[in-house]
Amino acid sequence: RHPQDHEADDLFLLGSLGKLWLAGVAIDWAALHRDERRRRILLPTYPFERQRYWIEPDHAYATTARQAPRLTRQPDLADWFYVPSWQRSTPPSLLSYPPNEYPQLWLVLLDDDEFSTQIVAGLQQRGQPVIVVRRGEHFSRTDDQAHTIDPRQPEHFSRPARWSYTIDPRQPEHYTALLAELGALAIVPHRVLHLWTLAQIENDLAEAQTLGYDSLMLLAQALDRFGQGESIDVWVMTSQAQDVLGGDVVQPTQAIALGPCRTLPLDYPQLRCCHIDLAVPTTEPARQSLIAQLMAELDLPIVDSEIAYRAGRRWVQRFEAVRIESKIARFHVGGVYLLIGGLSPIGLALARELAASEQIRLVLVDEAQRISQQGSTIEELRALKADVVVLSADLGDPAALAEMWEQAAIAPGQLRGVIYAADLAAGPDVLALTMQHSLILDRLCRASTLDFVAICSSLGGIVPRPGKVAACAAGVFLDAWASQLNAAGTFAVAIDWERWQPETSGASSDGAIDAITPAEGIEVFRRIMAQALPQVIVSPLDLESRRAYTATPTPAEQPSVQPSAYARPTIGTQYVAPRNEIEQGIAEIWQQLLGIAQIGVFDNFFEIGGHSLLATQLLSRIRDMFGEDISMINLFETPTIAEMAGLIVQKRAASVDQSQLAALLAEIQGLSPEDALSLLADEDLFQTEDRHD
């Protein structure tokens, strides 16, 4: 094993024996346990008291489970390919829908541009109550008439007044305060219209993420907390987020709103989301025609989740199956090919394919740690026909990626192709990193005459999963970036891959039928690169069946079933409530897995019903929530919420840059007593306000 591998000797030995046994090697188990002494363990002295713990069926999902399609692997690799397409749809004015009993209350996130203001005016002219939320630096209510309007009384909306709030889109507590104030008035918005994403924010990545991603996430959390369980329709409008007609000028920063739109209904079943992409006309008659179409659209319940309006026509997105037969993609003799994430599972397989070509130079860029671990693999690549250069760069630091280009020393005109296969860790930062990488590489691609740009993404942008909103948004952003490059004259293809099997296994480690082997992935790459498609989805399973399998029933289809939780069992420890955010997050996971209403921070996981199967789920959810890997051994050593929270804090502290820590410490030590007291007073005030929320 590797000298830097800190796995315990006995675990390494047992793991190796297990692999040998799986490979069919006969193991002398008696010799393994020869020196062990077995003793009896006394049973507990307390009586076995019978208590019924019946698992009530969740009828809301039972119907979905019965109707879930049977997923089978397509035997012919040529049938694994899909492309997005847009189909003309019936205008909303011709669709029938049940009339509303009373006006629907709208919560509109508005920028005061002319087009957005006209949309709000259209809603008001139709007698719809509107609560306007604008962007600002502070939370405030600028119109006092909220206290005088009853949303159930149509006559209250005959006057043009509207309610108006201002919030800072970056502040979670502002969304909470907004919904809490409305809730205190017994007001719950039936529909939400998000227009902040219509702003032109192409080059301001932080602003784009705030308006197109963070605002939707924070709003959904506030609606879930104060929405009283009612069904809420969320409409999100963007400008040029997708290529509908072919050759549309796409803004990738607009596309990130698709991530929350596709994923939030999985996390919050009471929400239904519809994404409407627009190409706002420049002439006033065309703008008024589009607004009339949108008014008819907003009168309908949500039927299609993704809609586009182009040239006065309504379009809906579909995914078409295409057959791509075996073809050979050739590479430019004497050219240089740059592979970002060259030692990731996908990158390494593609690197082997490229390295087998004669008279090319292959530049692999990856993390220093991965390079040190893959030393023998790199030597194998260098033994092939191509000239292989390996450069290290911190893929979590966009500035390091920019510096890498200087190290590569590629002469002008030599760069012929770029493959982006960065294996970024799943987490809340994956979207920001993906956008920053694209900004750097976009400049590089536009400055060179390239044969191709291959952008490797995951299927998570097309088949969203609960809790994976950032990964979904990053995926659709990369798809839109490929469209933007094509419109600028550079051939680019976004490949949305199903997951790959590890190179060391002949079959998927969990027996899944959807995983792609490295050999299959190389063949798929060859076929795609011989085409001229801007986006290709790769799925060994039927894509529509896969999307239907992960979908959840809409709120209208779900019976009202309240989850039940059992009372805290009688155990030896006293109940102590979570004391900070980390303990609160861990406690919520324990409550979901164990079905117990109250769990204290000093309760032992195994004493209150935890076991090895639940432990596996627990560690997975801990990793998703906090981004830290906790082993099964750690769980046995830290079986309480308090101990586990302490371990997470230790792991985070160990990963802190010591130079940054030293600089922070020096800054604190340099504070005057008056400055220190002022900061402490501000912190105390913040915590007091947070408790009052």
Within 13 A of 15's CA, how many CA atoms are on the CB side? Answer: 7
Mean pLDDT within 183-207: 84
Both tokens of 9, joined, read 């000797």
pLDDT of residue 324: 92
pLDDT band at 496 (very low <50, low <70, confident <90, very high): very high
Closest CA to 234 of 295, 134, 301, 308: 301
Chain Cα centroid distance, residue 363:
29
pLDDT of residue 146: 45
Q: Please state, as a whole number, how many other Cβ atoms lie within 10 Å of the Cβ of residue 345.
A: 19
pLDDT of residue 308: 96
For 249-259, how does the pLDDT look when each residue is reduced to its tens digit (9 = 90+)? 899 999 999 99
Q: Which of 90-104, 213-227, 503-517 has the lowest mean pLDDT?
A: 503-517
CA distances from 154 to 106, 279, 673 (A): 14, 33, 60
For 503-512, how does the pLDDT look when each residue is reduced to its tens digit (9 = 90+)? 654 444 444 5
Helix axes 258-267, 469-487, angle to 10 degrees: 160
Is residue 148 over pLDDT 60? Answer: no
Q: Please state, as a whole number, how many other Cβ atoms lie within 10 Å of the Cβ of residue 338.
A: 28
What type of residue sits at position 101? Answer: E
For 354-374, how does the pLDDT look when each residue is reduced to its tens digit (9 = 90+)? 888 777 888 999 888 888 888
Is residue 153 over pLDDT 60? Answer: no
Chain Cα centroid distance, residue 242:
19
pLDDT of residue 129: 86
Cβ pair 436, 253 in contact under 8 A: no
Is residue 135 over pLDDT 70? Answer: yes
Of the two residues 112 and 254, the one the predictor is more confident about is 254
pLDDT of residue 663: 61
How far apart are alpha carbons 541 and 79 in whole angstroms? 9
Q: What angle do CA 270, 95, 124 make, to 5 degrees?
A: 65
How far apart are alpha carbons 530 and 528 in whole angstroms? 5
Is residue 466 over pLDDT 90? Answer: no
Q: Please state, as a whole number, how many other Cβ atoms lie within 10 Å of the Cβ of residue 442.
A: 18
Strand partners, 141: 165
pLDDT of residue 557: 38
Is residue 163 over pLDDT 90? Answer: no
pLDDT of residue 655: 62
How far apart are alpha carbons 678 and 55 in whole angstroms? 54
What are the helix (H) ranges across 23-132? 29-32, 59-67, 114-125
Both tokens of 630, joined, read 């906790």
The chain-wide mean pLDDT, for the chain, equals 81
pLDDT of residue 217: 95
Sequence-distant (≥ 6) Cβ neighbours of residue 51 within 8 angstroms: none
Cβ pair 351, 399 in contact under 8 A: no
Q: Which of 13-22, 196-205, 578-587 has the lowest mean pLDDT?
A: 196-205
For 398-412, how does the pLDDT look when each residue is reduced to its tens digit (9 = 90+)? 777 777 777 776 766
Mean pLDDT within 453-468: 90
Mean pLDDT within 671-690: 53
pLDDT of residue 657: 54
Cβ pair 414, 379 in contact under 8 A: no
pLDDT of residue 671: 66
Q: Which of 65-79, 467-481, 493-507, 552-566 has the lowest mean pLDDT?
A: 552-566
pLDDT of residue 553: 43
How far apart are alpha carbons 387 and 240 in whole angstroms? 41
Q: Which of 93-102, 565-574, 609-618, 639-648 has the lowest mean pLDDT?
A: 93-102
Of the two residues 218 and 144, the one the predictor is more confident about is 218
- Residue 656's SS3 state is coil
Is residue 143 over pLDDT 80? Answer: no
Of the two residues 506 and 379, the one the predictor is more confident about is 379
Q: What angle do CA 46, 50, 56 make, to 5 degrees?
A: 135
* Sign of the dihedral defined by the CA atoms of residues 673, 674, 680, 683, in that order: negative
Percent of residues, the chain, with pLDDT higher than 90 = 32
Is residue 497 over pLDDT 80? Answer: yes
pLDDT of residue 170: 93
Of the two residues 563 and 394, the one the predictor is more confident about is 394
Is residue 70 over pLDDT 80? Answer: no
What phi and psi, each to the nearest 5 degrees, are found at residue 460?
-65, -25
pLDDT band at 479 (very low <50, low <70, confident <90, very high): very high
Q: What angle do CA 278, 279, 282 make, to 5 degrees?
A: 135
Going through 336-443 in order, the beta strands assigned E by DSSP cover 336-340, 361-366, 387-392, 415-420
- pTM exceeds cut of 0.75: no
Is residue 549 over pLDDT 60? Answer: yes
Mean pLDDT within 637-657: 83
Cβ pair 199, 211 in contact under 8 A: yes
How far apart are alpha carbons 464 and 100 in whole angstroms? 32
Of the two residues 97 and 127, the one the predictor is more confident about is 127
For 42-55, how does the pLDDT look when each residue is reduced to its tens digit (9 = 90+)? 666 655 555 555 55
